[in-house]
């Protein structure tokens, strides 16, 4: 039996007169029993676009990650540190899972939606099956987006850790493989998708 877990977090900083006045955080949890999806819905192909992020201006002596891949690795490292602090094994990076996560983040950004359900009706379980990862026993997903934070990676991971459902996914001892996919819009909004996988 396949089991899927999906959790999302919304992190938005609102502006009035170009001054940040409020940070709003919304949490929602989605649990579902995945069913095969054989529809002809379209999923965008991976454009292999690498986006370069401007160097941090706060301290010129501190080097900042410069590519989205660097940001993904930083988020993944922070998550593994949280797991190790709890006596759990670190997750193993899987590039196929990373492509699934990146594409979902990119689609959410490009089509301006925020959901575990893709525009084609697919869930993370469907996206994994379509990518060839169909021999899994359990799969999970956390999503987030934020804008206007000096350290968007740390902020997203900390908010996941403060949400019971996201934290449960991050610290679930059954997971073995995972990856984080990030997409950054030209306006500076960061979209995050982390997929967790346990093979059969």
What pLDDT is attached to residue 134? 81
Domains of the chain in sequence order:
3-199 (3.40.33.10)
What pLDDT is attached to residue 62? 43
More confident site: 159 or 42: 159
Cβ–Cβ under 8 Å, residues 11 and 159: yes
Closest to 51 measured CA to CA, from 116, 109, 130? 109
Q: What are the C-alpha distances in Å from 117 to residues 7, 31, 92, 126, 131? A: 11, 12, 25, 10, 16
More confident site: 85 or 27: 85
The CA-CA-CA angle for residues 118, 148, 9, to 5°, reads: 35
What pLDDT is attached to residue 79? 98
65 has pLDDT over 70 = no
| Residue pLDDT, tens place only, 31-62 | 232 333 323 332 233 333 333 333 333 344 44
**Structure pTM?**
0.71
User: Residue 61's CB: how many other CB atoms inside 10 A?
Assistant: 4
| Residue pLDDT, tens place only, 93-148 | 999 999 999 999 999 999 999 999 999 999 999 999 999 998 999 999 999 999 99
What pLDDT is attached to residue 2? 58
Confidence of residue 6 (pLDDT cuts 50, 70, 90): low
Instruction: Name the average pLDDT for the chain.
Output: 77
More confident site: 194 or 10: 194
| Least confident window among 85-94, 129-138, 185-194 | 129-138
Phi, psi values for residue 70, rounded to 5°: -60, -40
């Amino acid at each position: 039996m396949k089991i899927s877990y999906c959790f999302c977090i919304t992190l938005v900083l609102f502006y009035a007169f170009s001054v940040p006045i409020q940070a709003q955080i919304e949490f929602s949890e989605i649990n579902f029993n995945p069913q095969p999806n054989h529809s002809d819905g379209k999923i965008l192909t991976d454009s292999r676009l690498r986006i370069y992020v401007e160097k941090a201006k706060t301290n010129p002596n501190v080097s900042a990650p410069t590519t989205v891949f660097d940001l993904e690795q930083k988020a993944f490292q922070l998550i593994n540190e949280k797991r190790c602090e709890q006596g759990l094994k670190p997750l193993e990076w899987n590039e196929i899972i990373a492509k699934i996560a990146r594409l979902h983040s990119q689609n959410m950004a490009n089509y301006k939606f925020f959901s575990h359900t893709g525009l084609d009706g697919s869930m993370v379980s469907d996206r994994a099956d379509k990518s060839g990862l169909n021999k899994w026993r359990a799969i999970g997903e956390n999503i987030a987006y934020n804008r206007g934070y000096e350290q968007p990676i740390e902020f997203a991971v900390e908010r996941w850790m403060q949400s019971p459902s996201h934290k449960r996914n991050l610290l679930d001892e059954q997971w073995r493989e995972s990856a984080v996919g990030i997409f950054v819009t030209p306006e500076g909004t960061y979209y995050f998708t982390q997929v967790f996988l346990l093979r059969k």
